[in-house]
Amino acid sequence: MESICFFNKFKSWGGGEKWHYEAANFFQKNGYKISVICHGKGELLKRMKKNKNISSFKTTGRKYAYLNIFTVLRMVYFLKKNKIDTIIYNSFEDVRLGGFAAVLAGVKVQIFRSGMPKYIKEKKLQKFFQKYIDIIFTNSLESKEIIENNNPFLRGKIRILKNGIIFSETDTEEKILESIIVMGNSARFDYQKDQKTILQALKLLKDKNVKFKFLFAGDGELNSDLIKLRNQLGLEEVEFKGFMDNCDELYKNLDIFILSSIFEGSSNSLIEAMSFKDAVIVSDIQSNLEIIDNGRYGISFKVGSPEDLFEKLFDVINNKEKLLELKEKALEGVKKNYNYNVNMKNFENQLIEVHAKINGK
C-alpha cells in the first residue's frame, strides 16, 4: 500500500469530512502519497488545498454525475496518474460516483467508511459492494448491526473503527466551577439533532429559578426556528454563537455538554466535549450509549423528552460532587476508547492486511 485516495463529494463540513481530512493528514505523515476527490466548492477541498503535497480532483456533487461518461473517464485518468492502490469512500453516493472508475483504473482495495447508521437499499449498489468493496468500516456497533441486519450478505466485510481524539495537555486543564453553570451543544441545526428538546428543557430549568448560561454552536436549516423558539420561551440565558470552525474554546468554557440527537453514527462533538472534561448528558440512542458505556462515563435521558432531560440536568446542577465526578469520568472514557493515534494505527494495519491478502492471491 503506497497511494491512498479519499473520496468525499459533500460540499458542507461535517463529521465525515472532518474524518477524511484528519485521516488524509495522518497517512501522509506516515509516508503515504495522498489524493482526494471532493466537491469543487466544498470546505474539505479548501482545507486540503493548504497541503501542496495532496493532489485533488473536483466533483460537482450532482446526483447523477455517475452517468456522465466523461466524468468517469476523467476520474479513471486521475486515479491512474496518481497510481492509487487504495480508495476510501465516505458515502453510498461516493461509491455510486467513483466505484466504476476505481474498477476501470485497477485500484486494488476499495474501502467504505460509514459515519451514519444506514444500510444499502439499491440492488445495483448492493451487488457492487458485494463484489468490489473489500471492507466496510463503521464507527459504532449500532451502525454495524443496521448494515448486517439489512444487508446480511455483507456480514463478513464489516468492522468497527471508532472515532478518536488527539489529546493535548491543555485539553485536561482543571476547570473551576462558577456559581452559574455553563452548558452547551455543538451540532447542525436540523431535525436529527433535536435542539428543540434542549430549549424546552431549559425553560423548565428557568421555571425552577436555576441560574445557568447555554451556548449553541452551529448553523443549519432550523437556525431561525430555534432562535424564534428561544425568544418565545423567554430564554435570554441562551446564546447562539453561529458556526464555529474550531469548537475547542466552546468546550473549554462548558461545565455540561448536551447531545439531544434522534439518531447518530458516532458523535465527534460528544467525544471532543468529553476530552475537555465536560460532563455529558445525552439522548439514549444506542450510539450515544455506546460512547458513554451505558452510563459509566455520562448520563442519558429519554430521546425527545424535555421533561426527562430537565430532571437529569436539575439533579446534576444541584449536586456539585456528582458534576465533578462526571467530568472526570468523561475524560477517562475518551482516553480509554477514543485515542485517535491508536485507532488510526489499527486502521492502517487492517488496510495493510487486506493488501497482503490480495497480493498473496
Helix, strand and coil content of the chain, in percent to the nearest 5, comes to 50, 20, 35
pLDDT at 169 over 60: no
Query: What sign has the CA pseudo-torsion 60, 28, 140, 264?
Result: negative
pLDDT at 6 over 60: yes
pLDDT at 206 over 90: yes
pLDDT at 65 over 80: no
**pLDDT attached to residue 279:** 98
Q: Which residues contact 159 (CB under 8 A, 6 or more apart)?
A: 135, 136, 137, 138, 144, 350
Average pLDDT over residues 259-278: 93
CA-based diameter of the chain, in Å?
A: 69
Which residue carries 458534576 as its cell? Answer: 323
CA-closest candidate to residue 172, choices 248, 75, 241: 248
* Mean pLDDT of the residues in the chain: 92
Q: For the domain covering 169-337, report its CATH number.
A: 3.40.50.2000
Amino acid (one-letter) located at 160:
I
**pLDDT attached to residue 172:** 55
Write out the CATH class of domain 3-164+339-359: alpha beta
**pLDDT attached to residue 190:** 92
Instruction: Label residue 185 by pLDDT band (50, 70, 90).
Output: very high
CA-closest candidate to residue 283, choices 98, 101, 142: 142
pLDDT at 100 over 90: yes
- Domains of the chain, by residue range, sit at 3-164+339-359, 169-337
Q: Is 169-337 in the same CATH topology as 3-164+339-359?
A: yes
